[in-house]
Amino acid sequence: MPKVCCCLSSSQAIRSSLMAGKPKLYYFNGRGRMESVRWLLAAAGIEFVEEFLETREQYEKLLQDGALLFQQVPMVEIDGMKMVQTRAILGYIAAKHNLYGKNLKERALIDMYVEGTRDLMDLIRVHHKFSPEEQEKNLALINERATARYFPVYEKVLKDHGTEFLVGNQLTWADVQLIEAILMVEEKVSTILSKFPLLQDFKTRICNIPTIKKFLQPGSQRKPPPDESYVVTANRVFNRK
């Protein structure tokens, strides 16, 4: 019997160690700026755990513990660090998991493409905050920016580059963020890719990469678009009126 107890204790220690080694994400139970972090970790095949902020007290404890460098979330515990600032978090994950190109030039291209998709995604992230009339105007702006400014660029990049990916010959952060952006826009305008055949093919290819396909399945840690509950929770945590 003592040997059995020892084995159980050892197994529990191993499980605890494995859990401790997983990135831990601190944010609301919703998309926001953390969703791109979830996407990138999932694409890299990295399991992660989440602590959802639901109360003001949780947020204040993080502040008191000095976990939020600029008093903001997202915050990710990873490799002994408490990382804040979404761009820094994403860059670290991309570099660590070989999703950030093979040289400085490829990284520069990835950065440019990522910043472009982020600009487009920011229009969608604030959509739920608007009145119905403002949403109608913002939807028209999303459609115009996607079809006239951003998607033509990525269509041309795919054509000129001549490979399955935006940069180099393997999946990078740029591909992951573009597919996230495409799916976000399609939730608002389902036919948005109708004039972009290369992006249609890109979407099919990237969505069938095993790690991404898994993330797109029901029950994954991917979050739905923000709703009223998400807004109420964020207001409560940040003590907004």
Residue-wise pLDDT for 68-93, tens only, equals: 999 899 999 999 999 999 999 999 99
Q: How far apart are CA 50 and CA 61, in angstroms?
A: 16
Q: Is the pLDDT of residue 3 over 50?
A: no
Q: Is the pLDDT of residue 210 over 80?
A: yes
What band does 21 get if pLDDT is binned at 50, 70 and 90? Answer: confident
Write the CATH number of the domain with boundaries 22-97+218-228: 3.40.30.10
Nearest partner of 48 among 215, 207, 234, judged by Cα: 215
What residues are paired with 81 via a beta bridge? 78
* Residue 167: count of CB within 10 angstroms of its CB: 24
Specify the CATH architecture of the domain 104-208. Answer: Up-down Bundle (1.20)
Residue 176 has pLDDT above 70, yes or no: yes
Looking at per-residue pLDDT, the higher value among 231 and 191 belongs to 191
How do residues 106-149 score in pLDDT, each as one tens digit? 999 999 999 999 999 999 999 988 899 999 999 999 999 999 99
Give percent of the chain with pLDDT exceeding 90. 83
pLDDT of res. 7: 41
What lies within 8 Å, CB to CB, of 24 at 6+ separation is 48, 49, 50, 51, 76, 77, 78
179: pLDDT strictly greater than 70? yes
- Domain ranges (residues) in the chain: 22-97+218-228, 104-208
Confidence at residue 20, expressed as pLDDT on a 0 to 100 scale = 55
> Matching CATH topology for 22-97+218-228 and 104-208?
no
User: What tens digit of pLDDT does each residue of 36-46 get?
Assistant: 999 999 999 99
Categorize the per-residue pLDDT at 8 as very low, low, confident or very high, splitting at 50, 70 and 90. Answer: very low
Instruction: Please say whether the dihedral angle defined by the alpha carbons of residues 89, 91, 95 and 97, taken in this order, is positive or negative.
Output: positive
Share of the chain above pLDDT 70, in %: 91
Three-state SS sequence of the chain: CHHHHHHHHHHHHHHHHHHHCCCEEEECCCCHHHHHHHHHHHHCCCCCEEEECCCHHHHHHHHHCCCCCCCCCCEEEECCEEEECHHHHHHHHHHHCCCCCCCHHHHHHHHHHHHHHHHHHHHHHCHHHCCHHHHHHHHHHHHHHHHHHHHHHHHHHHHHHCCCCCCCCCCCHHHHHHHHHHHHHHHHCCCCCCCCHHHHHHHHHHHCCHHHHHHCCCCCCCCCCCCHHHHHHHHHHCCCC
The pLDDT score that the predictor gives to residue 16 is 45
Compute the mean pLDDT over every residue in the chain, rounded to the nearest whole number: 91
Quickly state the pLDDT bin for 4 (edges 50, 70, 90).
Answer: very low
In angstroms, rounded to a whole number, what is the distance separating the alpha carbons of residues 17 and 52? Answer: 22
Q: Pick from 186, 187, 220: which is nearest to 43 by CA? A: 220
